[in-house]
Structure 1
């Protein structure tokens, strides 16, 4: 009789222990809606590597990734509440932070420490230096950051903006109209336009000149990982986990771009894998190699440069207020510097 009671107690105790252990094992994941800045490209591979390899899940996150509609649109999508985080332009954050303090997303991991804003011209054309744009016809999509910042570029280089003829064009016509000499220069995002020219059987290295705004007086930051104010305040642990997972995947894609592109191709089978590998290499060489990288590593930035960027954006967009650097960027979620010091392998 005593033996049966002991056995029954043992079974009950074991069952209770199992029941209490279940919640720890089946712990729910924090859902995060994440928006890219554009359609699937090689420069998005690390997000899908983090997803496929379980890096998000290891941080107790369930991250759903959607394609974007432009770097600035990432900010508006997050402000609307439709998304919790995304990959987008810090300069768009500055604009919203000036108009709606406390509502703008906050950058937590800077990826592009050089701006993608570029004037591209034909080598055979009349524009040989940045000052040659006076009296010429330039084209760009209405509302694009590259076009919007043109007056600031002109000011920095003592160019009379009134002497430039601007033609608004659809984004998908920028390279085509330049090739056909309908404009003498096109105002583009370099990481997109460079690949578009390759796909149109052009040689972007020998047949075109690239006037990067960052080399001509507008040394700005650009895209990185931003999160909503709500996520930042209510779940800082999730923000830190998101950044760690992306940092880990970014390192792996930089070490092995082919792996990254193959992972992306599982999501978007129609991509040209060779072109997207070149896009990653181009981004590393032109957008992710700012002078401060060797000192700070990926993800971080200098407050002084950000403050100067805020001044440029405030003037270009006629902002009535200037947000502080601390309102735009928060470095407290960055992994240790030693975990962010990585660079591409030599070819």
Structure 2
């Protein structure tokens, strides 16, 4: 009788173990099926201007499957400038956008909004005065008494008063000539103005492409003359960030990887960018990307602190520089402008 009871107990135990294993297997199969059927999170991303090699990290994150590996399906649109891109994110029409951080500083002063930047792509703003040495301009101090071409909506012009004040230049001594962005480089090339404001990786590279000798161009980068401004940054809709924090983290992981890849493989990056441009020269865009990497992305601060972050003290100083022209009604703080809580760990953002 005892032997029968023992055998029964063993059979019962074996049955229970088999049932448990079966349930575990079914649970695993169901989990895998659910994971496979899970739809990627749809993301709408706004560029504030037409695509060029300067946005190669974002393009690579799309084309090389970096966003996809984070469970994100990213679609893009192009709008007319940073203020419009910021408005789209503030309203929820786009989840993310790439905008000039200094435009965000001005927007936050003028509009009740909690939109913040979560990733800095350009550690140094690309603002510059591009001049002809043959017109007697070799340094910033030479701009006095000259004619400066300025395009409507040019963001670099908004920090020009602070730059001039910092370097002892009398604003009244520099004649400004208003023009459309389309004729900025042609007018400098034709000698109708002595210098123009713009982005170094756009105006300077475009002028060389127009046949202006490189040794006749003086590229006077604002960052070399005391401007503390950061450049292009990724902003996020605050409601989306609160609802989908892991999606924001995944987006920034993919963008960090895309930035690192663009630095390592610029030729591959440009090939992908050209597929997203209506008309582009490979040589021109490759030169543009090299300029952006060297001057704006891979700075000494980035080499120390990693891709995507800010130095809060520097950001505070840059806000003050913006305020020299804006005259804030309520000065925003660094924490009003930038949120580092979604960034990957520093070790994952360092460039080896």
The answer, yes or no, to whether TM exceeds 0.5 is yes
Question: Which protein shows a greater Rg?
Answer: 2
Counterpart for residue 312 of structure 1: 321
Alpha-carbon distance change, 209 to 230 in structure 1, aligned in 2, over 3 angstroms: same
Deviation at residue 117 of structure 1 after TM alignment: 0.9
Counterpart for residue 125 of structure 1: 135
Looking at structure 1, the residues matched to 156 and 137 of structure 2 have their Cα atoms a distance apart, in angstroms, of 18
Deviation at residue 26 of structure 1 after TM alignment: 0.7
CA contact (8 A) 1:37 1:69 kept: yes
Looking at structure 2, the residues matched to 17 and 230 of structure 1 have their Cα atoms a distance apart, in angstroms, of 33
Aligned match for 1:169, one of 148, 154, 179: 179
Deviation at residue 73 of structure 1 after TM alignment: 3.7
Q: Please show how residues 252-263 of structure 1 align to structure 2 within 5 Å.
A: 252-263=261-272
Structure 2 unmatched ranges of 5 or more: 1-22
Alpha-carbon distance change, 299 to 163 in structure 1, aligned in 2, over 3 angstroms: same
Counterpart for residue 235 of structure 1: 244
Counterpart for residue 10 of structure 1: none
Q: Secondary structure at the match of 2:220?
A: strand
Pair 1:222-2:231 in alignment: yes
Structure 1 unmatched ranges of 5 or more: 1-12
Counterpart for residue 9 of structure 2: none
Counterpart for residue 97 of structure 1: 108
Q: Please show how residues 239-254 of structure 1 align to structure 2 within 5 Å.
A: 239-254=248-263
Looking at structure 2, the residues matched to 219 and 160 of structure 1 have their Cα atoms a distance apart, in angstroms, of 20
Counterpart for residue 332 of structure 2: 323
Deviation at residue 206 of structure 1 after TM alignment: 0.8
Counterpart for residue 99 of structure 2: 88
State the TM-score, normalizing by the size of structure 2. 0.87
Pair 1:183-2:183 in alignment: no
Deviation at residue 93 of structure 1 after TM alignment: 1.2
Aligned match for 1:285, one of 278, 294, 301: 294
More helix by share: 2
Point out the more displaced range, 226-235 or 186-195. Answer: 226-235
Q: Please show how residues 145-164 of structure 1 align to structure 2 within 5 Å.
A: 145-164=155-174
Deviation at residue 21 of structure 1 after TM alignment: 5.4
Alpha-carbon distance change, 19 to 241 in structure 1, aligned in 2, over 3 angstroms: closer
Which stretches of structure 1, 4 residues or more, deviate above 4 A after TM superposition?
A: 13-21
Deviation at residue 311 of structure 1 after TM alignment: 0.8
